[in-house]
């Protein structure tokens, strides 16, 4: 199955000049959704991964079923004020300003092996911050997987870990 055919491209959304990749059309197609989860899980099957890590919100949609497929736990990365226990934080710069990502302080231990899953790799800022958050805990990022990669933005060059993507777009 060609997953790129299941992703709608909406021009000029959310603003003029942006070509938005809408995965909701893929998610509603049960066979395409299963194939996307299988494709994201496959490169991790022989990596001895302890946890899948994913940033909110679309990362959760793909990260949770990948964790289930692999029979391992899932750890959410959230925005400020969304986690009830003690957290650790990483700040990062975005196109317009800065943001922070949080994880429960004791979710990971030194030596844990994790994979990060998200829907889309563009400039890499959010995933670089997620990678730094995992490193801050003493865990190791083994691989980072994306359903979609916008290759011309070169986001993977910002990341320290092995990156794979299922569908690639050039701008």
> Is 95 annotated as catalytic?
yes
The active-site residue out of 31, 95, 157, 170 is 95
> Is 58 annotated as catalytic?
yes
Alpha-carbon span 17 to 61, nearest angstrom: 26
The active-site residue out of 35, 58, 113, 132 is 58
| DSSP secondary structure letters along 58-109 | HHHHHHHHHHHHHT-EEEEEB-TT--SS-EEEEEEEETTEEEEEEEETTS--
Reference 21, options 39, 5, 35; nearest CA is: 5
Question: Which residues are marked as active site?
Answer: 58, 95
């Amino acid at each position: 199955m060609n997953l790129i055919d299941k992703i709608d491209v909406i021009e000029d959304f959310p603003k003029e000049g942006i070509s938005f990749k809408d995965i909701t059309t893929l998610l509603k197609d049960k066979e395409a959704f299963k194939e996307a989860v299988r494709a994201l899980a496959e490169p991790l099957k022989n990596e001895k991964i302890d946890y899948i890590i994913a940033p909110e919100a679309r990362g959760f949609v793909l990260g949770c079923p990948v964790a289930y497929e692999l029979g391992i736990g899932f750890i959410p990365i959230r925005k400020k004020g969304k986690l009830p226990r003690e957290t650790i934080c990483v700040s990062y710069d975005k196109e317009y300003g800065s943001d922070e990502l949080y994880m429960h302080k004791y979710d990971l231990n030194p030596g844990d092996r994790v994979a990060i899953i998200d829907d889309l790799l563009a400039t890499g800022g959010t995933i670089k911050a997620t990678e730094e958050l995992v490193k801050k805990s003493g865990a190791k990022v083994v691989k980072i997987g994306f359903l979609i990669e916008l290759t011309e933005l070169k986001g993977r060059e910002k990341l320290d870990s092995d990156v794979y993507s299922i569908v690639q777009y050039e701008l």
